[in-house]
Chains A and B, each alone.
Chain A
Amino acid sequence: MAYFILKRLIQSVFVMLAVAFLAFSLFRFVGDPVSQMTGVETSEQDRERLRDELGLNDAFIVQFARFTGDMLKGDFGYSYRTRQPVAEMIATRIPATLELGTVALLISLIVGIPAGVYTALRPRGFVSQTILMTTLVGVSIPTFVIGIMLIFLFGVQLGWLPTFGRGGTVQIGGWTSSLFTSDGWRALILPALTLGVYQLTLTMRLVRAEMMEVMRSDYIRFATARGIPFRSLYFRHALANTMVPVITIIGLQFGGVIAFSIVTESVFQWPGMGLLFLESIRFVDIPVMGVYLVVIAFFFVLVNMAVDLLYVAIDPRLRVREDA
C-alpha cells in the first residue's frame, strides 16, 4: 500500500514537470506581462529594464529551468501583478475552491444517487421522465448561464441568497472556511449548485444505467425469488454493485470540478483559485499561472490515487488480489 502511494507521488512529479513545460511554452503567446505591469507613461527603456530584471528576455529553456529549479527548492516566486508570494496567494485561495468543489460533489451524490436509483426502478414513470428531462436541460445549458439564471432568480428576484462572494467566513488555522456560518452557507448554495449540476446529471444517469443493468442480472432475480425485502435488495445488493464504475467516473470528474470551477467562480466572484487564475491571465501574471497549473496537476494525481484506493475499499475482489 505504502509502496503504491509512493509510486504515485513520484509519478506526480513527472506529471507536474510536464504540465509546467507545456504551460511555459504557451505563456509566450498569452501576452506581454510588462505592458500590463506598467502605466502608459512608462518609457520604453524602463519597460526593457523591467523585462530584464524579470528575466523575460532569457531563452525559454532558461526561464523554464529557473521556474522549476525554484519550485523544487520550494520557492514559488512572486506575482508580477501584486508582488505577493505566489505560494501564499494560492494557499489562501485553496480553501474556497475545495469547499465549493466538495459541496458541489456532495450535492451531486446526495441528489444524484437516489434519483438514479428511482429512475432505474420506475423507468417509465412520469416523475422519472420529468427528472430525466430537466436534468438533460440542465446539462445542455452552459454553466455560466445556469449561474446567472440562479443569481437572477434567488439573488435579484427573490432576494433570498447573496449574489457574489463567500459571505461570512471563519478562520481555522490557515484555513478560511465558510462552512461554519449561516451566511457562508447561504453564499455557498448557488455556486455549489451551479458547479454540481453537470455532476449531478452524470451521476444520476450513470447510476440509472448501471442499476438497470444490475437489476437484469441473475443474482437479483434469484434474490427476488427468494423473497429478500426490496429495500435491502435495491440498496444493499444492487446499488453496491453499481458503485465501482460510478466512483471511477465521479472521482475523475472531481479533479475536473476543482480545475474547472473557473467559470462558476467567475460568475459568483467566488474567491477561489480559479478566479485568481482568471485575473492572472488578464494581467499575464506568469508566476501565478505557472504555479496554479502545477498545483492543479498535482490535484489530479491525488484524486486519481484516491479513486484507485477507493476501488480497493469497495470491491473486495481487488483486495484479495492484492493480498495474494
Chain B
Amino acid sequence: MTFSLLLRSSALASVVVLGAQAASAETFRWASTTDPQTMDPHAVNAAPVLSFLNNIYEGLVRRNQNMQIEPSLATSWEPLEAENGWRFHLREGVTFQDGAEFNAEDVLFSYQRASDEAADVRSWFAPVSEVRVVDDYTVDFVTTAPNPLFPDSIANFMILDKGWAEANDAALPARDAENFATMNVNGTGAFSLSSRDPGVETRLVPNPTWWDEAQHNVTEAVFTPIGNSATGLAALLSGEIDFIQPIPLQDVAQVESRDGFKVLEGEETRVIMFGFGHEHEKLLYSTDVTDANPFQDPKVRLAAAHAIDIDAIDRVIMRGKIEAASQLVPAGISGYSEANADRPAYDPERAKELLAEAGYPDGFSFGLKCTNDRYINDEALCRAAASMFAAVDLKAELTTGPVRDYWTQLREDDFDMYLLGWSPGTFDAEHPIRFLLHSQDDEKKLGSWNFGNYSNARVDELLPLIQEEIDPAARQALIDELVGITQDEVAYIPLYTQPLIWAAKENIDLTQRADNFFMLRWVTIN
C-alpha cells in the first residue's frame, strides 16, 4: 500500500533512470515468485517446475501459443487399430544436448521413469497399460479403455535420454536425496542450463542443436526468483529485470502509468469457486443450527449462489479483470458447455425466498474457510462474499489461513463452506469432473479434491462415458448433461476465472499462455 502510493507520486515527479547495469541487448532477465524446486521433469508435478523445464526438455507433443496440441518430438500420432491406445511416430534426427540421439528407447525409458512410484507425475499414466517400442521411431501407448484425450494429457511429459540418465545414476526421480537429474539437465529443447544456484539464480543459453527453428532472439536468459512482490516490481521498474510474472492486481496502474513498461493481461484457466460440505450431517461452525446441515438442501445452496454479486466483486476487488464463471471450466476450454453458460443471477430477494422455502426464514450461521495466500486477493474476496451472504441472513464466520495447512483442514472435513480454485490440467472439461464432481473413490483415484463429497449417481456414471467417447458431438452432449445436473444441484458456486497479470519492459515481445507457463522460445527483445 505504502509502496503503491510512493510509486504513484513518483511517477508524476520524474522519469525512471535505468540502472548502470542495463543489460546487453539480448540477455533476457526475468523473475517469478517461486524457484523451480528441481530440474528433474518427473519428480514434481507443479507449475513452476513444469513451466521452467518446458524450456529445456520436450514432450512428444507440445502446446502452441493458443494451448493447442502440436507435434514436438512426435511428428504425428493416431489411434491404434486393434486395441485401445495411440501410436506416436517420432521425429528423426533429434539429438539431446549432450549429443546422444533421440529414439523410441528414450520414450519407453521416460515412460517407465515417469510412471514409477517415485515420480509425482505418474497420475498422467494411470490409463496406460503398456508401452511398446515398434521400431526406432514408432511407439505405441496402449490404454485400458478408449482415450481420445491421451495426447493432450501428456503435453508436459518430458523425455529424458536413457543413456544419460542411467550413466548418471538418475534412472529414477530423486525421492529422498538428490540425484544427478535434480541439478543437471539433458533435454532436446530450445535452451540448456548454463548455471544453477537454487533459489538464487538460474541461467539458460540457447541450444545450438535444437531441431526446430528458433523464433526468439535471446542469447542468454537469467532467472531469479523474487518472493516479495514489491521487490519484484521495483526490480522491473529499475530496469534490472525485463519481465516478471505475476504482479499483484493493485500494481497494474503503476506499471501502466510509466513509460517503457507494459502490463500483459489475460485469463488464466483457473476457476474460483465455493464448495459445500455435502456429506456433513451437521454444521461445524454454526451458532444457531447445530443439529443439521442446511447446505444439504439444493435450495439453500442456490440461495447462497443468488446472494453473490459477481459484478461488485469484479469492480471492487478484482479491478474489472475477471470473467464470471458458470461452470468449473472457463469458456474456450474444450468441453465447455455452451448450453449451460448462465450462472445464477445476483438476486438477494430470491435468495431470501429460497431460504424461507427451505425452512430457514431467518437464515443461519456457518463457517467459511478461505486461503489468504493462494489466489489473487483471496482474502478480500471472502470478506466481500461473507458480507454478501450476510445481506440474505447467511451469517458466514470467516476463517482465513495460508495454503500450507489449508488442504489438510479440507481433507479432514473441517469446514462448512470453502474456497477453491481449479485449473484443468488437461485443458479439458473432463479434468474437474474427475477431481471435483465424481464421488470420492480412493480405489479408482477419483474425486480426490471433492472435499465435501458431492455425489450423484448419474454424474459418476457419465464420467467414464465422457472419458471414452471418441465422437466430439456425442461427448459434448454427455458433458452438457453432466454440467446441467451439477448446476441444478448447485454442486459448487463457480465465481469467476482468475486473471493472469504479467509485466514487462516495452521492448519485450512475449506470449502469455493461459496455463501461466512462460516460454522463452517466444521471447523477442526489440
| A157 vs B234: C-alpha distance when bound (angstroms) | 10
Q: How many cross-chain pairs have Cβ atoms below 8 Å apart between A and B?
A: 173
1/0 per residue B191-207: CB within 8 Å of A?
00000011111000000
Which residues from 141 to 178 on chain B have a C-beta closer than 8 Å to any C-beta of chain A?
A: 174-178
What is the minimal beta-carbon distance from B156 to any residue of chain A, in angstroms? 10
1/0 per residue A30-44: CB within 8 Å of B?
111001111111111
The interface residues of chain B, by DSSP majority, are classed as: loop
**Contact between A82 and B182 (Cβ–Cβ < 8 Å)?**
yes
**Contact between B178 and A155 (Cβ–Cβ < 8 Å)?**
no
What is the minimal beta-carbon distance from A149 to any residue of chain B, in angstroms? 7
Closest to B126 in A: A43
A164 and B231 in contact, given A83-B43, A159-B20 (Cβ under 8 angstroms): yes
Q: Per a CB cutoff under 8 Å, which of A53, A82, A149 touches B175?
A: A53
* Residues on B with beta carbons closer than 8 Å to the beta carbon of A166: 200
1/0 per residue A271-302: CB within 8 Å of B?
10001101101111000000000000000000
* Residues on B with beta carbons closer than 8 Å to the beta carbon of A278: 227
* Residues on A with beta carbons closer than 8 Å to the beta carbon of B182: 82-84
**Contact between B16 and A159 (Cβ–Cβ < 8 Å)?**
yes
* Residues on B with beta carbons closer than 8 Å to the beta carbon of A38: 44-45, 120
**Contact between B176 and A78 (Cβ–Cβ < 8 Å)?**
yes
Task: Give chain B's interface residue range (CB within 8 Å of chain A).
Answer: 35 or more
A162 and B226 in contact, given A81-B37, A84-B182, A282-B404 (Cβ under 8 angstroms): no
What is the minimal beta-carbon distance from B210 to any residue of chain A, in angstroms? 28
Closest to B407 in A: A35
**Contact between A159 and B176 (Cβ–Cβ < 8 Å)?**
no
* Residues on B with beta carbons closer than 8 Å to the beta carbon of A164: 224, 226, 231, 234-235, 240
**Contact between A156 and B174 (Cβ–Cβ < 8 Å)?**
no
Closest to B422 in A: A40
A151 and B234 in contact, given A157-B14, A164-B240, A267-B228 (Cβ under 8 angstroms): yes
* Residues on A with beta carbons closer than 8 Å to the beta carbon of B2: 145, 148-149
Q: Does B375 contact A (CB under 8 A)?
A: no
Closest to A93 in B: B199
| A279 vs B227: C-alpha distance when bound (angstroms) | 8
**Contact between A39 and B46 (Cβ–Cβ < 8 Å)?**
yes
Extra contacts, 5 of them, besides A163-B231, A267-B228 (Cβ < 8 A), are A43-B445, A83-B179, A157-B10, A159-B238, A269-B224
11 contacts between A and B (CB under 8 A): A38-B120, A78-B177, A85-B178, A145-B2, A157-B14, A157-B17, A162-B19, A162-B21, A164-B224, A266-B228, A282-B227
Mark A residues whose CB is within 8 Å of B: 29-32, 35-46, 49, 53, 78, 81-85, 89, 145, 148-149, 151-152, 155-159, 162-166, 183, 266-269, 271, 275-276, 278-279, 281-284
